[in-house]
Chain A
């Protein structure tokens, strides 16, 4: 299996632009998580899905952030409009059960100028 695949690996954009991060979970995994990692705040859960349905989005910072999972093999995290404080590494992870081992992607490093 190829593992969790995230794209893009790096994105540099200007403040105000829309950013879309993509994730393909491991086939057969029914949980998908989005995390954000910064030096200041560490690793924070943004949202997670079970069987494509958002279960907990209380970590989403504000309305500028949105996440979708239109099918079992694809999820997006969108930031519109982006701000410099959104600069971080965004990780997607999947698992077969929410108490189990998480498999992480390599992350998308976002820089907002």
Chain B
């Protein structure tokens, strides 16, 4: 059974807009990670947030974590066409992955 779920499943936005993806999970975690996957490729690590952190930034990425609600969000600001990909959260030391959000950024 899926231990992580993301919503929306798919998101389509215009270039320059912000994109927000949400992840909900079921188990306790020490940290949560976000990955990106371009079509037909392997996953690439984006950012890790620890359970004692509430927010973390990396470039145009902003991640929040609410352990009481077992949820996390990934915000990509000022999106670009090159951000088009699927985005996954991963928890429990990479033992589970979310269902993924497919982001399409329209130029």
> Could you list which residues of chain A lie within 8 angstroms of chain B, going by C-beta atoms?
4, 33, 35, 42-45, 48, 56, 91, 93, 95, 98-107
- Inter-chain CA distance A12–B99, complex, in Å, is 26
Decide if B93 is an interface residue (CB 8 Å cutoff): yes
Interface residue tally of chain B, by bracket? 20 to 34
Q: Is B70 an interface residue (CB 8 A)?
A: no
In the complex, the 5 A-B pairs of residues with the closest C-beta atoms, listed nearest first: A104-B42, A43-B97, A101-B45, A104-B43, A98-B93
Complex CA distance for A105 and B95, rounded to whole angstroms: 17
Does the CB pair A102–B97 fall under 8 Å? no
**Closest residue of chain B to A95, judged by CB?**
B94
Inter-chain residue pair count (beta carbon < 8 A)? 49
B contact set with A: CB distance below 8 Å: 2, 30-31, 33, 35, 41-45, 48, 88, 90, 93-100
Which B residues lie within 8 Å of A99 (CB)? Answer: 30-31, 93
Residue B43 contacts which of A45, A48, A91 (CB distance < 8 angstroms)? A91
Is the beta-carbon distance between A45 and B96 smaller than 8 angstroms?
yes
> Please, which residues of chain B bring their CB within 8 A of the CB of A107?
41-42
Q: Given that A56-B95, A98-B93 are known contacts, is A42 also in contact with B43, CB under 8 Å in the complex? A: no
